[in-house]
Amino acid sequence: MKRGRLALALLLAPGLLWLMAFVMLPLGFLVVMSFWSSSIFGTVPDFTLSNYRRFFDNPLYTELLLKTLRIGIITTLISAVISYPIAYFISRQSGWRKFALVVLLFLPFWTSYVVRTFVWLPILGRNGAINQALMSIGIIDQPLEWLLYNEGIVYLGLVYVYTLFMTLPIYLSLEKVDPRLIEAAVDLGARPLDIFLRILLPLTWPGILSGGIMVFLLTVSAYVTPQLLGGPSGIMFGNLIAAQYLTGNNWAFGAALSVVLAGVVLLLLLVTGRWVGIQQVFSGGRS
Amino acid sequence: MTSPADSGTDGPIVAIDGVSKSFGGFTALQRIDLDIARGEFFSLLGPSGCGKTTLLRIIGGFEDASTGDIRINGRSVRDVPAFQRATNMIFQHLALFPHMNVTDNVAFGLKMKRMDRASIAIRVATALEQVRLKEFATRPVDQLSGGQRQRVAMARALVNDPDVLLLDEPLGALDLQLRLHMQEELRRLQRSLGNTFIFVTHDQEEAMRMSDRIAVMDGGQIRQLGTPEDIYERPRSRFVASFIGHANLLPARVIGDAGAGLVMAECDGIRLACRTHPETPPLRTGTIAVRYEKVGIRPAADAAAAADDIATGRVVERVYFGSAVRFQVVGSNGTTLTAQLADVELARSIAENDEVILSCAPGAAVLVEDD
């Protein structure tokens, strides 16, 4: 018994230390710093609520936060709609075809997402592939300006970069569904839509949720994609935070914004989590 | 026998007409012709790979026949997809929906038929009562025992009142006691409901105990079709004789007529007056099949010879079963025969290495065709 506990502690130690050193400490520091004060002379320890007051006093900040959450939710929904058919298709394949398709699924992760975001510029830009092609065949005389730097293009970029984080867990949960259950449902008179709604969807719900949480978290904290593709009108909360550190030199306010974002996201997950049965993600599908 | 179910049409409920099936180069079924009567408990019996499950799946609509046609209730179901067929299946691995409780599992088929909630509730309750699961209505199915899960599967299929219930070795995973119990339960349900059951099994005792008729299958063909008694008492071929029950199989040649419709056959000096299946053509050679329990055995000390005596020999092995004792005897002519004695008193007087006399009544042995 004692030996077992010691072994357990030793086995857990590396992971716990890692979490403490690189997750809990920085997070704690962030919270502490959000009560400090920044000025042109630097950020100094303090205990002030002025950073939070500044956030709540200016409605632009709240609006940006709401917009960011909206983008996060819509991106997650679009990703689910795109991912499910892909995952279903791959799960129905067999042999080397399935293997090849799963490898293809991972392929985009082999390059940095910054690069993957950048490639949209030569496609959609003023002198990009689409404009060149349309002009050369005479459909347009002037390059289309609205292809880049708007909110819509931010959705495109985010969905493109993060969808696969959803496809993979959905694929894995579809793989776990016993095909004989589908046969049994067909035998009992289920049509394709019934099978999807009553068998596949409930049994793969944990996969959809875990993928959804992943995409949502990555999206609401995105700042490279909106910066590169969205321009001024595509700006998200992440850009606001980044600006405090990189250009505004207002680390304390940046910390407060980060804490607000993290707090709101956590609250959102807790509230909607109850409603959609988030505990299934951690209990393997049994409610 | 159950009275035929209510719907008016006469004729077989399932008519299988020249059905073949091949997967790639492998022939799973070879031109099967078979009629199954309304209200019948019909078994497809055979070793694994004989095509019995394939035939069942074709009836259910889960596989397409390569050739031939199947009519259910007189109508061809070639173009009827599985979800529209008047059949329901109980699967080998049950395939209960793990995310639903007992009631939702059982109600599934009725919901698919868009039946109204009140009727569903009544029929589900009745079905659960029939399989004695009323108290478990709200249990998740993963909190049930093997036998209970079995009964949920039965209720889930039967609640739809299918014209034909297809059962794909549903009792295979149960331990012996439970299995015997579920066999009775299934038979009881079939008799009280009157639906046609088509039951696939590789267990010949199970098939005999439950069925009105049995089709013995091997190599994608039906080797023999008949009542359990027919098949046990009058096998046609060596395969059927060896697959059903336990029999001594002796290569033999026919030496004449033994009168009373019997054929005299001989194997290494052992002569037996044999029955044959009515459809067996006249044979010159074949195999004598004698059930273990049809071979009489008594100590050689009992000098009084009898007309039925067929050989003398020495016991080389004696196995006690409780209800019977089985003796392996090497005859004086070198042939090995097995005799099974239900008379345990008499069996007690015979030990290994004892000299014994073997006997067999005329007509107790069957002459069958070689495969």
In a domain, B350, yes or no: yes
Average pLDDT over every residue of B133-157: 93
- Tell me the per-residue pLDDT of B93-137, one tens digit each, with 9 for 90 and over: 999 999 999 999 999 999 999 999 999 999 999 999 989 899 999
- Which pLDDT score, from 0 to 100, does residue A284 have? 52
How large is the average pLDDT for residues B269-296? 91
Q: Residue A283 — pLDDT band, cuts 50, 70, 90?
A: low
- The whole-angstrom distance between A91's CA and the closest CA on chain B is 19
* Shared domain check, B255 and B213: no
Q: Is B259 left (phi over 0), alpha (psi -120 to 50) or beta?
A: left
- A188 shares contact with chain B (CB less than 8 Å): yes
Domain-embedded: residue B109? yes
What is the DSSP secondary structure assignment for residue B197, as one 8-state letter? E
Single out the residue in B230, B259, B290 at which a domain terminates: B230
- Report how far residue B113's alpha carbon sits from residue B189's, in angstroms, rounded to the nearest whole number: 23
Domain ranges of chain A: 52-283
Average pLDDT over residues B205-222: 95
ipTM of the prediction greater than 0.90, yes or no: no
Residue of A nearest to B91 (CA): A184
pLDDT bin (cut points 50, 70, 90) of residue A282 is: low
B210 & B299 share domain = no
**B94: containing domain:** 14-230
Phi, psi of B314 (to 5 degrees): -125, 135
Residues B171 and B247 in one domain: no
- Shortest CA distance from B62: residue in chain A: A183
Please, where are the H alpha helices in chain B?
A: 52-60, 102-112, 117-130, 146-158, 176-193, 204-210, 228-233, 238-243, 344-348
Question: Which of A76-80, B260-264, B273-277 has maximum average pLDDT?
Answer: A76-80
Asked whether residue B5 is domain-assigned, the answer is no
| Whether A2 contacts chain B with CB within 8 A | no
Lowest-pLDDT choice from A175-184, B3-12, B28-37, B277-286: B3-12
Q: Are residues B243 and B368 in the same domain?
A: yes
Beta strand B221-226 with B247-259 is unpaired
pLDDT tens track for A22-59: 999 999 999 999 999 988 788 888 899 999 999 999 99
Residue whose C-alpha is closest to residue B43's, from B206, B286, B153: B206
Contacting residues of A for B112, CB less than 8 Å apart:
185, 188-191, 194
**Are B188 and B39 in the same domain?**
yes
Q: Do B95 and A180 touch (CB under 8 A)?
A: yes
Residue-by-residue DSSP string for A227-287 = IIIITGGG--HHHHHHHHHHTS--HHHHHHHHHHHHHHHHHHHHHHHHHHTTHHHHHTT--
* Residue range B11-70, pLDDT digits in tens: 899 999 999 999 888 999 999 999 999 999 999 999 998 999 999 999 999 999 999 999
Mean pLDDT of chain A: 90
Same-domain pairing of B195 and B344: no
Does B182 share its domain with B246?
A: no
Q: Is residue B349 part of a domain?
A: yes
Nearest CB among A178, A181, A194 relative to B112 is that of A194
**pLDDT exceeds 70 at position B151:** yes
Mean pLDDT of B305-325: 89
pLDDT of residue B303: 65
- The stretch B238-251 carries a mean pLDDT of 93
Mutate to test the interface with A, among B106, B112, B143 (most CBs of A within 10 A): B112
Residue B2 domain flag: no
Per-residue pLDDT, A203: 94
Q: Is B143 on the interface with A (CB under 8 A)?
A: no
Q: What percent of chain B has pLDDT over 70?
A: 97
pLDDT recorded at residue A273:
80
pLDDT for the residue B6:
43
Buried b (16+ CB within 10 A) or exposed e, B4-14: beeeeeeebbb
For the cut 80, the answer to whether the pLDDT of residue A2 exceeds it is no
Smallest Cα distance from A196 to chain B, Å: 13
B112 vs A178, A189, A202: nearest CB: A189
Q: Which residues of B touch A190 (CB under 8 A)?
A: 83, 108, 112
Contact A199 B93 (CB under 8 A): no
Chain A contact probe: residue of B62, B83, B96, B154 with most A CBs at under 10 A? B83
Q: Which of B160, B174, B159, B14 is nearest to B94 (CA)?
A: B174
Q: Note whether B104 and B120 are same-domain residues.
A: yes
In this prediction, residues A195-219 reach a mean pLDDT of 94
Handedness of CA B123, B124, B129, B130 (dihedral sign): positive
Which residues on adjacent β-strands are paired with residue B14?
Answer: B36, B72
Is the Cβ pair A187, B84 closer than 8 Å? no
Residue B42 has what DSSP assignment? E
Taking an 8 Å cut-off on Cβ atoms, the answer to whether B108 and A185 are in contact is: yes
One domain, residues B39 and B181: yes
A189 in B contact zone (CB under 8 Å) = yes
What is the per-residue burial (b if ≥16 Cβ within 10 Å, else e) of A86-125? Answer: bbeebbeeeeeebeeebeebeeeeeeebeebbeebeeebb
Same domain (yes/no): B195, B252: no
CB contacts of B165 in chain A (<8 Å) are none
Q: Nearest residue on chain A to B87, judged by CA atoms? A: A187
Distance from CA of A47 to the nearest CA of B (A): 52
Q: What average pLDDT score do residues A243-268 get?
A: 92
When pLDDT is averaged across residues B205-210 and rounded to a whole number, the result is 93
Confidence check: pLDDT of B1 > 50: no
Return the residue of B nearest to A189 by Cα: B83
Domain boundary among the residues B211, B230, B249 is at B230
Contacts of A287 in chain B (CB under 8 A): 99
Both B353 and B293 in a single domain? Answer: yes
In this complex, which of A180, A199, A286 lies closest to B93 when CB atoms are compared? A180
- Rounded to whole angstroms, the Cα distance separating B56 from B170 reads 13
Residue B149 shares a structural domain with residue B253: no
Residue whose C-alpha is closest to residue B217's, from B239, B195, B234 = B239
Among the candidates B190, B212, B230, a domain finishes at: B230
**CATH code of B364's domain:** 2.40.50.100
In a domain, B6, yes or no: no
User: Which CATH number characterizes residue B51's domain?
Assistant: 3.40.50.300
Distance between CA B351 and CA A275 in Å, rounded? 76
CATH of domain A52-283: 1.10.3720.10
Q: 10 Å Cβ neighbour count for B314?
A: 15
User: B161: Cβ–Cβ under 8 A, 6 or more apart, which residues?
Assistant: B193, B195
The answer to whether position B110 is within a domain reads yes
- Domain tally, chain B: 2
pLDDT at A271 over 90: no
Q: Is residue B3 part of a domain?
A: no
Q: Quick one: average pLDDT of A158-181?
A: 93
- Best mutation target, B88, B104, B108, B159, to test chain A (most A CBs within 10 A): B108
What's the longest Cα–Cα distance across chain A?
80
CB contact under 8 A, A189 and B60: no
